[in-house]
Structure 1
Amino acid sequence: MKLSAFHFDLPDELIAKHPAEYRDESRLMVLNRKEQTIEHKQFKDVIDYFDDGDLMILNNTKVFPARMYGNKEKTGARIEVFLLRELNAENRLWDVLVDPARKIRIGNKLFFGEDDSLVAEVIDNTTSRGRTLRFLYDGSYEEFRKKLDQLGETPIPKHLNREVDEEDAERFQTIYAKEEGAVAAPTAGLHFSKHLMKRLEIKGIDFSEITLHIGLGTFNPVEVEDLSKHKMDSEQISISQDTCDRVNNAINTKRRVCAVGTTVMRTIESSVSSNDRLNPYDGWTNKFIFPPYDFRIANSMITNLHPSKSTLMMQVAAFAGFDFLMEAYQEAIKEGYKFSTYGDAMLII
């Protein structure tokens, strides 16, 4: 398929700037692939589509406060530093993006905090992801990480065009987040409230967890018309033996297996055995899923409504069916559904 096939016009007012008042009261569009029907519900109605023994797979990654602001030595110019990935804990080395990038050279020092209590030196600017910084800090590693947390802010997407507020620290995080390492939230999971999860458990729905630490590569624009030429950035994933046992048991007993989000779907499709069962894995994935694609683990998925031409939208099109998804998106626009990070949700069965 070609990139241009995934274009659609989305009015600006349908990009959600803020989350719904209550997590589980965002809207839910239910797509039934077999019947080719579309229903309009609230997210908490998702419980009606699952039965005792069905399984939901969650991404338990936790977003850390990755966006920081420093001042360049001598000029005092304000520089945004976006922490992407820790390269070496002992040497305090991080891959980062800097903005404005043109002002930053190897050897430049950046000062953070009102008292300049944290200093970083640029030691490399040739990485594909931006720059490599060495943070200069005398305290222990634990104190250093605490300092990063103090100086960083919740990395809500730039396209929201607004300042971070107090609400974001809580709402740009799933309620089951535990493994720190993501710079963006697994957005499908943002709709789950404690109350809804308790109701699902009481009904007999099982949960298992994987980890995919979301990097900014997930959101990189596709710049080639031939999708097979697009390269995804690698992201760290982990699938435990316990998760495999639960997932494979659900498959063997013909239960509904639901991937909660595109990150979960990419993770489980990255480690499949020859007999279509899930294997444990710790490592990296750069899997890019677009139509046509034969999914082997999950038979349902929960996802948000994604921007035009995004890799996220392409993966969902592969699962729902391209024509059916395009029809659903047009209906969503007509019905005023909200798109993107803080937007509404979709259940595909």
Structure 2
Amino acid sequence: MKVKKISITDYDYELPDSRIAKHPLAERDCSKLLIYQNGEITNDTFRNIDQYITPKSLLILNNTKVVRARLRFKKESGATIEVFLIEPIEPSDYALSFSSKKKVVWKCIVGNLKRWKQGELQMEIEGTGGRLVAKQLKRLSEGVEVEFSWNNSSMSFADIVEKCGTMPIPPYLNRESEDIDGYRYQTIYAEPEGSVAAPTAGLHFTPKVFESLSNIHVKPHYITLHVGAGTFKPVTSDTIEDHEMHTEHFFVSLELVKRLYQNSEPVVCVGTTTLRTLESLYWLGVKLKLGKVNENFNISQWEPYELDFRIDVGEAFKALYEYMASNGIGTLSASTQIIIAPGYEIKTCDALITNFHQPRSTLLLLVAAAVGNDWKKIYQFALDNNFRFLSYGDSSLLHINKST
């Protein structure tokens, strides 16, 4: 498989630290917008994006909400132990975990773990007189299984995290979380809690932008994919064959799946997480047609490249819709490890709204899958024209080259 042999060094570029946006702009929709279509590049301001999207397009966004996932405990010895929430284990459902008022168990990454060999960690729950207790249950292959309990039954785990945690801004910002991150590292339409990183393509949207899109009959539709810490995981292997993609959980309504299979308009994905979700939905439909769907509804990293079977996108979505409808599934809960890299044909999306990504990252590989080798001139244009990069940076609207 040629895709597996892709060398990550071919997807490198020089990104000066001065070009990384360390803080958000004063206004979300004032960010720059690069527009790429048919090999041509122009630029504008994000608030004018309605001028570059086809009327009646299906706009799909990820409405996940970032949680204050960094919990910093202080030991009596003075050592600080940072417990970073990754995903729920008991209960494993995100909504049930965050609504729990007793105790929960999460997979976590623990900073300064060598200083927490035994015993419990505790911190006061500000303004309540209560205490949060963390207990290490067992070491995992990647992370630690941690039990959290608290002595205030009127508070849910969501309340606890909001009170005790800090916003998990990206590590490449090289700064501590500030008050502004509490609301700017969050989309204005965020609802279901569960992400430890923002779907940053959506950070540029404002009510005014949605209003201008509504005027051209473009209405927002939502999926939920909880973005994991693995989104920042660098590709350290020479080829992507040896890079293990992280698993992310997503949720899609029966109504949207029906809308997708009946759709005849262009599809615009807001963010790489939305695109990965739609492509994963397609492959779930293919697997249904092949009788290969397991009860966990998972798409593994290389599965799309190994399934020697192609059907029309509408047929795949229809198969998924009929399965969900006949089994009374109002919201599909699934997970994906899909890696989208050059050589992969994007099937479900016509244009992608996304920020500018790190060198040698799987996100940059996805962009290259969408626009081919033109990713180099897109990124050079952005560098030459003073675009801001990464999570708090500027935006792009990339019309996908279906032939790549």
User: Is residue 132–residue 151 contact of structure 2 (8 Å, CA) maintained in 1?
Assistant: no
Structure 1 stretches of 4+ moved >6 Å: none
Shift, 1:199, TM fit: 1.4
Shift, 1:145, TM fit: 3.2
- In structure 2, distance between residues paired with 1:123 and 1:282: 27
Percent identity of the aligned residues?
Answer: 35
What is residue 11 of structure 1 aligned with on the other side?
16
Shift, 1:225, TM fit: 1.6
What are the equivalent positions in structure 2 for 1:182-331 lying under 5 Å apart?
Answer: 182-250=195-263, 253=264, 255-272=265-282, 273=285, 274-277=311-314, 278=317, 279=320, 281-321=332-372, 323-331=373-381
Shift, 1:192, TM fit: 0.5
What is residue 123 of structure 2 aligned with on the other side?
112
- In structure 2, distance between residues paired with 1:108 and 1:215: 28
Structure 1 unaligned blocks of 5 or more: none
- In structure 1, distance between residues paired with 2:145 and 2:281: 31
Shift, 1:3, TM fit: 0.8
Shift, 1:140, TM fit: 2.8
What is residue 65 of structure 1 aligned with on the other side?
68
TM (norm. structure 2) is 0.80
Distance 1:70 1:19, change over 3 A: same
SS, match of residue 95 in structure 1: strand
SS, match of residue 22 in structure 2: coil
* Aligned-partner residue type, residue 325 of structure 1: W
- In structure 2, distance between residues paired with 1:327 and 1:308: 14
User: Is residue 51–residue 204 contact of structure 1 (8 Å, CA) maintained in 2?
Assistant: no
- Return the match for 2:163 from 150, 156, 163: 150
- In structure 1, distance between residues paired with 2:275 and 2:141: 26
* Aligned-partner residue type, residue 22 of structure 1: E
SS, match of residue 281 in structure 2: coil
Structure 2 unaligned blocks of 5 or more: 1-5, 91-96, 286-310, 322-331, 400-404
User: Is residue 50–residue 256 contact of structure 1 (8 Å, CA) maintained in 2?
Assistant: no
C-alpha RMSD of the superposition:
1.7
SS, match of residue 341 in structure 2: coil
Shift, 1:248, TM fit: 2.8
TM-superposition CA deviations, 1:247-294 (whole Å, max 9, x none): 3333xx2x2210100000110101113321334542111111111111
Number of residue pairs the alignment of both structures matches: 340
SS, match of residue 270 in structure 1: helix
- In structure 2, distance between residues paired with 1:226 and 1:63: 31
* Aligned-partner residue type, residue 131 of structure 2: S
TM (norm. structure 1) is 0.93
Worse-matched range after superposition: 20-29 or 140-149? 140-149
TM-superposition CA deviations, 1:121-155 (whole Å, max 9, x none): 11112x13311111232333744431221001111
